[in-house]
Every structure is written in structure tokens, then in C-alpha cells.
């Protein structure tokens, strides 16, 4: 039976531009490589990843009742995502992210949340009542919605997985219930703890610092090209990533943590789930765009088979 994962998070239209040089303050850069509008948003990327990787994906989010919102809703339905708990709001526009991608594949992103900050609590409650196997969230929606959803899930004994991006030091992590997985990337880890996870020792110190901020069974620190550091504070392992060309890192973290959540529910083994998630992340960074870069289960399995 497929694992049913409820994502309560964000949905955006991404304005993606490829840049040879990031502009400095006061500088105008003429870029001839063009731009495009693509579906994105941390939550939407994750919900799509769950669906493509073989999970039953349920998405609770808020879109504007506008052309972008209508287009995104159609896309999610085409992906086979359950959109029963998605809201189209008249008073707020669909979220938009301005994404600049450099020649090295790294990106800089500015997000205009719009409707993302106004997910109705009633929809969250109804979605949780649909008996998901897990709740998955990021921090790209209103903090109140994250805290509300997490605590409501805990009341129902639904495990909660949180991808800690984008990081905000003012977010009250202590208001969250016991989590199953808390997963920041390198920069998010440094924002929350003041510790940059550059090696095994600093990863261990950062994980211990995170444990003083938020309770979780596992802490998974995403390390980009180095893989990820996984710990339950009694046992730790660095799971290396796979070789691959980096074209665009957009959606890599979102897809990684969604894949980690799904595979952990399927296998019960956090280390093997991390290896699977690393494979997904490697495939994502090899393509441009957010949602368009997310692989299918068959693509991931074929990739892993080549490294078995």
C-alpha cells in the first residue's frame, strides 16, 4: 500500500533567470540567456516529489484565485496529487519566487509569499483528518500555520517531518511537538545554531545545538555535494552523495527531504532513506527548474542500480 504523505506548505510560480554574474549593489547586468516562468514553491516541489516517487501525495496549500493559481492547480491534478484541501483565495495573489541561477548551478531566491501566508486552519484540520501516514512541512508559510499543523498532527499520532527552510532565527522551534525528522541545510543550520557544519565534529556540535532548540527523533543536516549527516544523538553517520553534474540546485533540498520522508516510511531505516534521498537530489541538480527537474521512481531506481 502506498504511503500517504500530507504536505502543508507553499506553492509558487517561479520567475527563473540564468545569470553569468550576480549583480552587485547599484549594478545593472544585461543578461541575454533569457528567463522563464516555472512551477515551484518548496511545498509544491515536495508534493510533486512524493507523487513521482510512488507515494500518495496530499497537498494543503493556498493559491491566489488568479491565472497562476489556476495553472498550478491543474498541474498538481495532472501529477496525481490530492488537491482536496487546497484553497483558492480571492484576497491574495499566488506566491511568486524570483530565482537567479548562476553558471555554477547555485541560486539566489527572493520569495513573495502572497497566499502562502494565509492557509486556512480549517483546511489543515480537514487534511489531517484524512489519515495521512506523515505530515511534511517547510517554513515557507506562516509560522502559526506550521505550529498549528504540527501540534494537531501530534494529537493524532501522525509523525511530523520538517525541512527547516527557509531558516528564521526568530521562529519558535520550542513550540513544536516531538518531530520525527528535522532537516536543515548547511546555511540553515548555521542560522539556527551559529555553527557551520563543515566536518564531522562541527556537524555533531550543530546537531546537539539543534536538539536544544527543537525535539526530534532524527536530525538530518543536508550538506550539498558532501551528502548529509544523520543522527539520533546516540549514533551518527555521514551518508555521501553521488557524482553528477550540477546544473541548477533549485528544488534539490525540497525533493531530498520529501524523498527521505517517503523512503523512511517505506523502509523504517533512516540511513537507507538518506541514501535514496541523496540519489534524488543528485538527479534534481542535473536539470534546470524546480518542479520540472524532479525525477520519477523508475528514474531513481535505475540510477541507484548503476551504483549497486
134, pLDDT greater than 80: yes
Res 207: pLDDT: 98
For 147-185, how does the pLDDT look when each residue is reduced to its tens digit (9 = 90+)?
A: 999 999 999 999 999 999 999 999 999 999 999 999 999
| CATH T-level assignment (fold) for domain 4-21+36-301 | 3.40.1190
Name the pTM for this structure. Answer: 0.92
Percentage of the chain with pLDDT > 70? 100
Res 286: pLDDT: 94
- Separation of alpha carbons 270 and 15, rounded Å: 35
Res 290: pLDDT: 79
In this structure, are residues 56 and 2 in contact, taking their beta carbons and an 8 Å threshold? Answer: yes
Question: Which string of DSSP letters, residue by residue, matches 49-94?
Answer: HHHHTT-EEEEE-EEESSHHHHHHHHHHHHTT-B-TT-EEESSSPP
For residue 75, which of 96, 50, 44, 99 has the smallest C-alpha distance? 44
170: exposed, middle or buried (Cβ count in 10 Å: 0-12, 13-18, 19+): exposed
Mean pLDDT of 214-238: 97
For 114-125, how does the pLDDT look when each residue is reduced to its tens digit (9 = 90+)?
A: 999 999 999 999
Res 46: pLDDT: 97
Mean pLDDT of 41-56: 97
For residue 45, which of 303, 305, 285 has the smallest C-alpha distance? 285
CB atoms within 10 A of CB 54: 17
Res 19: pLDDT: 83
Res 18: pLDDT: 80
Mean pLDDT of 247-270: 95
Res 163: pLDDT: 98
> Is 254 part of the annotated catalytic residue set?
yes
For residue 292, which of 99, 5, 22 has the smallest C-alpha distance? 99
Least confident of 32-36, 277-281, 302-306: 32-36
Confidence of residue 107 (pLDDT cuts 50, 70, 90): confident
Does residue 60 or residue 292 have the better pLDDT?
60
Res 31: pLDDT: 76
For 4-47, how does the pLDDT look when each residue is reduced to its tens digit (9 = 90+)?
A: 999 999 999 988 888 877 778 888 878 777 788 889 899 999 99
Amino acid at each position: 500500500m502506498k504511503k500517504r504523505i500530507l504536505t502543508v506548505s507553499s506553492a509558487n510560480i517561479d520567475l527563473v533567470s540564468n545569470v553569468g554574474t550576480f549583480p552587485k549593489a547599484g549594478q545593472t547586468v544585461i543578461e541575454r540567456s533569457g528567463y522563464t516562468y516555472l512551477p515551484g514553491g518548496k511545498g509544491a516541489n515536495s508534493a510533486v516529489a512524493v507523487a513521482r516517487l510512488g507515494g500518495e501525495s496530499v497537498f494543503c496549500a493556498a493559491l491566489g484565485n488568479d491565472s497562476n493559481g489556476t495553472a498550478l492547480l491543474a498541474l498538481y491534478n495532472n501529477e496525481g496529487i490530492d488537491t482536496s484541501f487546497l484553497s483558492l483565495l480571492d484576497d491574495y495573489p499566488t506566491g511568486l519566487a524570483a530565482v537567479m541561477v548562476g553558471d555554477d548551478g547555485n541560486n539566489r531566491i527572493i520569495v513573495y509569499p502572497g497566499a502562502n501566508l494565509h492557509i486556512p486552519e480549517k483546511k489543515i484540520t480537514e487534511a489531517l483528518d484524512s489519515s495521512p501516514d506523515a505530515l511534511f512541512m517547510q517554513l515557507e508559510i506562516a509560522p502559526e500555520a506550521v505550529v498549528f499543523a504540527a501540534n494537531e498532527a501530534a494529537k493524532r499520532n501522525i509523525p511530523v517531518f520538517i525541512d527547516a527552510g527557509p531558516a528564521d532565527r526568530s521562529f519558535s522551534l520550542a513550540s513544536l511537538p516531538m518531530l520525527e525528522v528535522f532537516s536543515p541545510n548547511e546555511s540553515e543550520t548555521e542560522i539556527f545554531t551559529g555553527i557551520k557544519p563543515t566536518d564531522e565534529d562541527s556537524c555533531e556540535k550543530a546537531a546537539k545545538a539543534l536538539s536544544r532548540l527543537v525535539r526530534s527523533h532524527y536530525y538530518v543536516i543536508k550538506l550539498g555535494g558532501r551528502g548529509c549527516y544523520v543522527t539520533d544523538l546516540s549514533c551518527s553517520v555521514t551518508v555521501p552523495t553521488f557524482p553528477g553534474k550540477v546544473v541548477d540546485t533549485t528544488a534539490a533540498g525540497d525533493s531530498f527531504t520529501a524523498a527521505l520522508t517517503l523512503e523512511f516510511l517505506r523502509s523504517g531505516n533512516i540511513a537507507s532513506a538518506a541514501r535514496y534521498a541523496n540519489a534524488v537530489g543528485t538527479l534534481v541538480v542535473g536539470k534546470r527548474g524546480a518542479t520540472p527537474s524532479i525525477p520519477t521512481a523508475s528514474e531513481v531506481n535505475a540510477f541507484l542500480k548503476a551504483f549497486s
